[in-house]
Structure 1
Amino acid sequence: MTRGGRAMDRIPVASPLLGEEEAQAAHETVRQGWITMGAKTRAFEDAVAALTGARHAIAMNSGTATLHCLLAAHGIGPGDEVIIPAMTYISTVNAVLYVGATPVLADSEAGGFNLTADTVRPLITARTRAIMPVDMNGVPPDYDALAALAAEHGIPVLADSAEALGARYRGRPVGIQAQAHSFSFFANKSITTGEGGMVVTDDDALADELRILRNQGQEGRYHHTRLGFNYRMPDILSAIGLVQAGRAEGVVAAKATVARRYDQAFAAMPGVTAARIPDWAQSSWYLYVILVAPELRDPLAAHLDGLGIETRLSFPPVTIQPYHARRFGWSDATCPQALATFRRLLDIPIWPGLPEADQDRIVEAIFDFIAKRGPG
């Protein structure tokens, strides 16, 4: 197997697990001559539905497309508000803007990444049309509390679970807690098609609407009943995804093994805290996150980079993204907990097959840095 074709003397922060089976699946699809959305996509949808326990799965060509379609399918538009977390990838807020609605930001829980029912509750107004939580870094939010709050106000929970395929909430796969969940298959996710995404839902009417919207608003060939989008997933990507779906449980289990070794190491390391996983959650281990003192994070990342260890600083809160801050007048004070947490976060390498020797090299490099600089 290859790991993204990358040289292994440098330790990447993430690496897709791709092999001969994926290559053969793509080749066979090309050889058969049907490469746009078709039978392979339907089979891939069935596989993801089985993984999550959802009744329907609707594939599209990106995770962003699935979020856009979810909002459009609910008729959300100008004058409406959608509550999202401040700490998320930019796609979440952009999807709200694509439909002309207004994003309303909920701050993170103390010591974690996700919004909570308590941070959402004071933001609900007569214009709120949906709550869109994010399973940040593959860690589910408290869906029961969010669902109860949403039910009080008659609004749906539409989850951006891009990083959470394979995660579990109270023992059950993420994908059945909200009215709908959106997954991404970008190259650094648990399973990948290079680009791609999928919505899962038990709502029959919503599933039908999403299938129409992703295919140019067609109901029957060349019969366009909606303003739809060209968001179809091609079969050549779905063929890869079908193989990847068969690997999903093994990928998450392998990453969990790496995470346990890290947990043990960092539990005894002053100045380094592993990200908290709530009791109700099992992470997909999209990334492994450590928290250090804000003044140490960037120097530590530079130190590791010099040793050939790739890291990421995680997603900045949307409050400090230049375009969005200008447009909405957001500032460092808008969601202070999210910003404070972001300034401490560092993503370190985790992927299936990461050798224990490399894991030890990473831990030792962090320990040496903290020992010299102090815990902050």
Structure 2
Amino acid sequence: MERLDELLRRGDRGPRVAAVREQLAAVGLDCAAAPGEDPGLFDARLERAVRGFQQQRGLTSDGVVGAETSRALDAARWRLGDRILRYTPGHLVHGDDVTALQERLSSLGLLDDRVDGVLGPATERALRELQRGLGLTPDGTCGPATLRALQRLQRTVRGGDVGALRDTERVRRSGSSLVGRVVVVDPGHGGDDPGAVGNGLREADVVLDLALRLEGRLAASGVTAVLTRGAGQNPSTRDRARLADDVRADLFVSLHCDAATGTAGQGVATSYWGDPRVGTRSPVGARLADLVQRELVARTDLVDCRTHARTWDLLRLTRMPAVRVELGYLTDPGDARRLADPAFRDTCAEALLVAVQRLFLPEDEDPATGTLRVDDVLARVRAADGRDPA
């Protein structure tokens, strides 16, 4: 019996493959099976279409249909007006129709949250406010009357991305000191899931060790550092995000390593929440990702694979600025040799700490990349405590 949670990749066959082909065709991607070929076969043409869809949606373009790609395919089938939209706690509606609604609410300056295609409480509040302003019953339900009113509105005045402006202003007003801040450090995988494996290293072990090194440096800087897991644990993506919400984290830093199959891969890349289709992103997350990337590249000899806007579940579910760091390829001998060295991991932990500190520094105090020392960060802590920073 075919399991619905299994990955689909090139070479697989069955009704789920045929369904994926139909979903991709429905959104305009050319993936029809060749004449006489089985539409239930995951062939090269379907793989190219999956990769194209993933790239459009800000997902990892690996040609494999997993949970996140399946969720995105399901979301893509909805257009605004196809169904009545309402907020139901515990059963959140998601889809491109929700994204379209959120875009309209954001353009009117009513939505103070990200455009993520999920109808949560912030979207419901914005919808009720819109309905009150239009003289409709403020029931938080997007039905025919609300849709007709939306269609009559002219999109000549934009209110801006309220959520993005709010987050940027919050960081600006919070001051430059790290003392009292909460940072969740998320070592990926864990438990029975080793993550990437290569050259005698396991991703879960490498990133946990790095997380512990970063935790110590953050704590010395006055930060409450919270790890999402220990050595024998592998919480779900939703549980990791929920922990960050529960501790009211200021930032979320997820640590990973990468692996390449069939092609060479090396270097460091950093990702933040952003949906390239609708032009929405977390500006603070993007800034932190840029700082992390630059500090790591400046302090190590890892190849610069740049920063990327992604719609991954972990970045979508965390409500605070979040970044995911892919720190080298375990399948590359050079990257693996570096990551096996405790001194190199210390350097990476220091780069991450410096990036976090720089995020909160005003522009006129922000030093050049690669020049801020950990001792400088600690001096700020002593100054904030009223002690002699010397």
TM-score (norm 2): 0.29
**Larger Cα-atom Rg:** 2
* Highest RCO, 1 vs 2 (Cα 8 Å, sep ≥ 6): 1
TM-score (norm 1): 0.30
